[in-house]
């Protein structure tokens, strides 16, 4: 890898990006009874209801009306508007509370709760059918809001975690590009795991091998959980590798040689640790529970890719190309950042490390 970094870098990058590509079409949704095995009694009851009353009967929408704010005489008109909404199979008559201060209307969609058209139906009802004082609720509507909320929260979480890790690594390794590369590599591993999850569970590629009767959306909770766990594991491998590489760099001042020595010293340990973790996570993938199964597949894939393609190919190839620039830190930052001795003062800094400039290659 160190002798011919460009071919290795391009090949590994294409592989990781290809694995990550399906994540662009990912749809998240909390798991429900339709995701359970057909031997499960809850799933059997779910199928019985769907066969007898239509798929939407398993996830009715509930329109709640505050009669202190809305006129009770408007309830029949509201029911008619709901019935005319595209995607609605049936609308039950309004049920007024004993105190005459509230009413509920049950709306049955034409499709099941996990159907991707449910989100559009909930949005249309909210935008076009509901008067002031009326809101839509029910488990299906809650799932729509929950999936949207978790997806929206993912990006701020990623930003905070990546920014914090970048600052900490910059202080520890006194480098600007090494922390940036570390964050990019970690995100690439996580994106590849997201892509594999989408292909296996949402597209159904190999779903039968995991005991799934059909394709299912990726659970809404998985993205945040996977990101938190995988970013920590990936950063652990990165710090382990970079610490040894920097130690060699401080000892000899040889940019490419330090990468080779550091990889030779840590590669076997990282691979062995990853192998143990992959074996454990594959055990999760055999669990009948959908959320645990998805966690197991995502973690196993990400750790395997991170310990092989990323740590053994992408990181060495990138560091070989950057050369001395791996440890470049602008003078203003060097004066401000505190110095943390990772090596107990055992390795004095070489003259080449005083102020290396970015490589022009």
Q: Dump pLDDT digits (tens) for 147-179.
A: 999 988 899 999 999 999 999 999 988 889 999
Give mean pLDDT, residues 28-36: 83
pLDDT band, residue 346 (cuts 50/70/90)? very low
Q: Based on the structure, what is the number of domains in the chain?
A: 2
SS3 call for 61: strand
Question: pLDDT (tens digit, 9 = 90+) per residue, 62-78?
Answer: 999 999 888 788 898 99
Please tell me whether residues 185 and 274 are part of one structural domain. yes
Strand pairing partners for 137?
62
Q: Residue 299's domain is classified under what CATH number?
A: 1.20.1640.10
Q: Is residue 85 part of a domain?
A: yes
Other residues' Cβ atoms within 10 Å of the Cβ of residue 208: 10
* Beta carbons of 317 and 8 less than 8 angstroms apart: yes
Q: What percent of the chain has pLDDT over 70?
A: 94
Q: Which residue has the higher pLDDT, 314 or 289?
A: 314
- Residue 352 is predicted with a pLDDT of 46
- Residue 361 is predicted with a pLDDT of 41
Computed over every residue of the chain, the mean pLDDT equals 87
Query: Has residue 221 got a pLDDT over 80?
Result: yes
Please tell me whether residues 329 and 225 are part of one structural domain. yes
- Residue 351 is predicted with a pLDDT of 42
Which of 64-73, 193-202, 232-241 reaches the highest mean pLDDT? 193-202
Please tell me whether residues 202 and 237 are part of one structural domain. yes
Please tell me whether residues 252 and 114 are part of one structural domain. no
The domain of 80 spans 60-137
SS3 call for 104: strand
Which residues contact residue 94 at a Cβ distance below 8 angstroms, ignoring those fewer than 6 apart?
65, 75, 76, 78, 79, 103, 104, 105
Q: Residue 70's domain is classified under what CATH number?
A: 3.30.70
Please tell me whether residues 81 and 207 are part of one structural domain. no
- Residue 280 is predicted with a pLDDT of 92
- Residue 342 is predicted with a pLDDT of 63
- Residue 343 is predicted with a pLDDT of 58
Please tell me whether residues 175 and 274 are part of one structural domain. yes
- Residue 118 is predicted with a pLDDT of 94
Other residues' Cβ atoms within 10 Å of the Cβ of residue 140: 25
What gap in Å lies between CA 263 and CA 1, rounded to an integer?
11
Please tell me whether residues 322 and 198 are part of one structural domain. yes
Among 77, 110, 137, which residue terminates a domain? 137
Give mean pLDDT, residues 221-225: 89
Q: Is residue 52 part of a domain?
A: no
Q: Which of 94-98, 184-188, 211-215, 293-297 is predicted with the least confidence, judged by mean pLDDT?
A: 211-215
Question: pLDDT (tens digit, 9 = 90+) per residue, 270-310?
Answer: 889 999 999 999 998 888 888 889 999 999 999 999 999 99
Q: Is residue 107 part of a domain?
A: yes
Q: Is residue 344 part of a domain?
A: no
pTM above 0.75, yes or no: yes
Q: Is residue 358 part of a domain?
A: no
Nearest to 22, CA basis, from 169, 145, 150, 206: 206
Q: Is residue 293 part of a domain?
A: yes
Q: Which helix (H) or strand (E) holds 66?
A: strand 61-66
- Residue 145 is predicted with a pLDDT of 93
Query: Has residue 347 got a pLDDT over 50?
Result: no
Query: Has residue 354 got a pLDDT over 70?
Result: no
Question: pLDDT (tens digit, 9 = 90+) per residue, 87-131?
Answer: 999 999 999 999 889 999 999 999 999 888 999 999 999 999 998
Please tell me whether residues 206 and 83 are part of one structural domain. no
Q: Is residue 51 part of a domain?
A: no
What gap in Å lies between CA 163 and CA 165, rounded to an integer?
5
Query: Has residue 13 got a pLDDT over 90?
Result: yes
Please tell me whether residues 220 and 326 are part of one structural domain. yes
Q: Which residue has the higher pLDDT, 359 or 153?
A: 153
Q: Is residue 346 part of a domain?
A: no
Give mean pLDDT, residues 221-237: 90
Query: Has residue 357 got a pLDDT over 70?
Result: no
Please tell me whether residues 122 and 241 are part of one structural domain. no
Q: What is the CA radius of gyration of the chain?
A: 27
Please tell me whether residues 125 and 192 are part of one structural domain. no
Please tell me whether residues 166 and 115 are part of one structural domain. no
What gap in Å lies between CA 52 and CA 64, rounded to an integer?
26
């Amino acid at each position: 890898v160190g002798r011919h970094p460009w071919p290795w870098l391009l090949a590994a990058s294409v592989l990781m990006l290809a694995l990550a590509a399906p994540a662009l079409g990912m749809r998240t949704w909390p798991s429900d009874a339709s995701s359970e095995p057909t031997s499960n009694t809850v799933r059997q009851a779910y199928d019985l209801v769907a066969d007898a009353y239509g798929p939407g009967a398993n996830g009715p929408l509930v329109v709640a009306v505050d009669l202190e704010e809305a006129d009770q005489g408007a309830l029949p008109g509201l029911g008619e508007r709901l019935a005319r909404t595209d995607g609605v199979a049936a609308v039950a008559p309004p049920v007024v509370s004993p105190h005459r201060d509230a009413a509920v209307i049950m709306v049955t969609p034409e499709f099941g709760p996990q159907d991707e058209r449910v989100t559009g139906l909930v949005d249309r009802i909210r935008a076009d059918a509901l008067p002031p004082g009326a809101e839509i609720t029910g488990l299906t509507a809650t799932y729509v809001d929950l999936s949207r909320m978790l997806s929206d929260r993912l990006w701020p979480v990623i930003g905070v975690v990546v920014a914090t890790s970048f600052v900490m690594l910059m202080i520890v390794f006194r480098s600007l590009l090494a922390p940036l590369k570390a964050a990019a590599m970690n995100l690439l591993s996580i994106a590849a795991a997201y892509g594999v999850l989408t292909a296996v569970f949402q597209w159904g590629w190999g779903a039968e091998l995991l005991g799934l009767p059909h394709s299912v959306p990726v659970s809404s909770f998985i993205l945040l959980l996977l990101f938190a766990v995988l970013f920590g594991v990936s950063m652990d491998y990165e710090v382990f590798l970079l610490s040894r590489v920097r130690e060699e760099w401080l000892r000899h001042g040889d940019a490419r040689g330090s990468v080779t020595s550091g990889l030779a010293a840590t590669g076997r340990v990282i691979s062995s640790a990853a192998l143990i973790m992959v074996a454990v996570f594959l055990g999760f993938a055999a669990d009948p529970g959908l959320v645990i199964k998805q966690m197991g597949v995502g973690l196993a894939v990400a750790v395997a890719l991170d310990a092989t393609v990323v740590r053994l190919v992408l990181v060495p190839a990138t560091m070989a190309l950057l050369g001395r620039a791996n440890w470049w830190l602008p003078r203003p930052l060097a004066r401000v950042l505190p110095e943390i001795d990772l090596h107990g003062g055992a390795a004095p800094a070489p003259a080449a490390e005083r102020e290396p400039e970015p490589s022009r290659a």
